[in-house]
C-alpha cells in the first residue's frame, strides 16, 4: 500500500496560487466579454444597402450569406418595406377632431441621409458632389501608395505581433437617435464567437494586413461607372473600395476557420461625413472592427465612427440599426 503524503506548507501555497491564477484568468475573460460596450446594442429593423442586394442578385456565389441565398425579389421587397417604415413613422391617431381643436401641422421633415441606402453621404449644406473623394479615401494615382497601403506598412515596420488594444482609433462613441423608426425592434441574439487568444489575434491581424496590402483602393465610380457596386476583389491586381475589402476579409477569415456566424458587415459614417463599410468580428472579448482605413483591429466602441446599420448577428439578410 502506498502511503499518501500530506502536502507541506510550501506545496500548499504553490497549489493555492496556481488555482488563484487560473480562476483569475477565467474571471478576466468572462469580465471582458460581458464588459459594458463589448457587444454592440441592436436597434430596429433597417433596409439592406442597395449594393448588398445587387450583389446577391448578380453574383449569389459572392453574396455574404450563411446557407442558401433567398430570392432576390423577396429581398428587395423586404428592403423596400423597411425603408418606408423608417421614412414614414407611425403617428398616433387624433383623440377627436373638431373645428376649434383642428390645426394644420407643418410638413414633417425627414432626414433622408438616415434612411436612404446611399453609398456616400455628405452634410446637407456641403457643396461637394456625391462622387467627390475625400482626402482620406481618394483613389491613389498610378504609382502612388493608397491609404490602406501606407497604413499597413506602418504596422509591418512595428512588427507582426500587435497588441489587441494597441492604438485604438478613437474615443468611445455616444450618439443620440436622430430618427424614431417605426419598424419593430430586432431581438438580440448571441452570435457565434471566435476565440481571440494569441493564435486568434495572429490569424485576424494577418488577414486584415494581407487584404489591406493586397487590394488597391479604387472608387466604384472609377472602376464601374456607378456609385455603389459590391464585388469580391480577386487576382494579383485586385482593386476595390471599402465594401470590397470587407468581402475579401470575410472570405479570408472563413477560409482560415473563423465561423461565418461570427462575421457581420456594418455601415458607419466617418468623421468627414462619408458612408463607409467595415467588417465586425464577434469574439470572446467583444465585437472588433476590421477596417480598410486602419491597420489596427479595434473594438467597435473605440473607433471614431458613427454607427448606422449592420447585419444582425448570424442573420446576414436581416439588417438592423445600432441602438446608440
| pLDDT digit string, tens, across residues 200-220 | 999 999 999 999 999 999 999
- The mean per-residue pLDDT over the stretch 97-124 comes to 42
Q: What is the pLDDT of residue 35?
A: 64
- Whole-number CA gyration radius for the chain: 24
In whole angstroms, give the CA distance from residue 36 to residue 324: 13
What mean pLDDT comes out for the span 82-88?
60
Count of H helices and E strands in the chain? 7, 9
pLDDT at position 156 is: 41
Of all residues in the chain, what percent carry a pLDDT higher than 90? 45
Residues 248-297 have pLDDT tens digits of: 999 999 999 999 999 999 999 999 999 999 999 999 999 999 999 999 99
Backbone dihedral angles phi then psi of residue 11, each to the nearest 5 degrees: -65, -35
190/39 Cα distance (integer angstroms): 9
Provide, rounded to the nearest whole percent, the portion of the chain with pLDDT above 70. Answer: 51
Measured at the CA of 59, the angle between CA 54 and CA 63, to 5 degrees, comes to: 75
Joined together, the cell numbers standing for residue 207 give: 488577414
- What was the pLDDT predicted at 200? 98
Q: Max Cα separation, the chain?
A: 103
Amino acid at each position: 500500500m502506498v502511503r499518501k503524503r500530506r502536502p507541506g506548507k510550501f506545496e500548499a501555497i504553490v497549489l493555492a496560487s496556481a488555482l488563484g491564477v487560473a480562476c483569475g484568468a477565467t474571471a478576466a475573460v468572462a469580465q471582458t466579454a460581458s464588459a459594458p460596450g463589448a457587444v454592440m446594442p441592436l436597434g430596429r429593423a433597417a433596409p439592406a444597402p442597395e449594393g448588398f442586394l445587387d450583389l446577391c442578385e448578380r453574383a449569389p456565389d459572392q453574396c455574404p450569406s450563411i446557407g442558401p441565398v433567398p430570392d432576390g425579389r423577396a429581398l428587395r421587397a423586404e428592403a423596400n418595406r423597411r425603408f418606408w417604415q423608417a421614412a414614414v413613422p407611425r403617428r398616433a391617431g387624433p383623440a377627436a377632431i373638431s373645428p376649434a381643436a383642428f390645426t394644420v401641422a407643418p410638413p414633417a421633415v425627414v432626414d433622408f441621409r438616415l434612411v436612404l441606402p446611399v453609398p456616400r453621404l455628405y452634410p446637407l449644406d456641403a457643396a461637394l458632389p456625391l462622387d467627390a473623394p475625400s482626402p482620406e479615401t481618394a483613389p491613389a494615382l498610378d504609382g502612388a501608395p493608397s491609404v490602406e497601403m501606407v497604413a499597413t506598412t506602418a504596422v509591418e515596420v512595428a512588427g507582426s505581433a500587435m497588441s489587441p488594444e494597441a492604438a485604438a482609433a478613437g474615443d468611445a462613441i455616444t450618439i443620440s437617435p436622430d430618427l424614431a423608426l417605426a419598424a419593430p425592434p430586432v431581438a438580440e441574439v448571441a452570435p457565434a464567437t471566435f476565440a481571440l487568444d494569441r493564435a486568434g489575434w495572429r490569424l485576424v491581424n494577418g488577414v486584415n494586413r494581407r487584404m489591406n496590402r493586397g487590394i488597391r483602393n479604387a472608387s466604384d465610380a472609377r472602376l464601374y461607372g456607378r456609385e455603389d457596386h459590391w464585388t469580391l476583389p480577386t487576382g494579383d491586381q485586385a482593386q476595390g473600395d471599402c465594401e470590397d475589402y470587407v468581402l475579401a476579409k470575410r472570405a479570408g477569415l472563413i477560409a482560415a476557420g473563423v465561423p461565418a456566424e461570427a462575421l457581420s458587415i456594418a455601415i458607419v459614417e466617418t468623421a468627414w461625413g462619408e458612408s463607409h463599410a467595415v467588417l465586425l468580428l464577434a469574439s470572446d472579448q467583444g465585437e472588433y472592427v476590421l477596417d480598410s482605413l486602419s491597420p489596427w483591429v479595434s473594438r467597435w466602441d473605440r473607433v471614431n465612427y458613427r454607427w448606422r446599420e449592420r447585419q444582425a448577428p448570424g442573420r446576414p439578410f436581416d439588417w438592423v440599426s445600432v441602438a446608440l
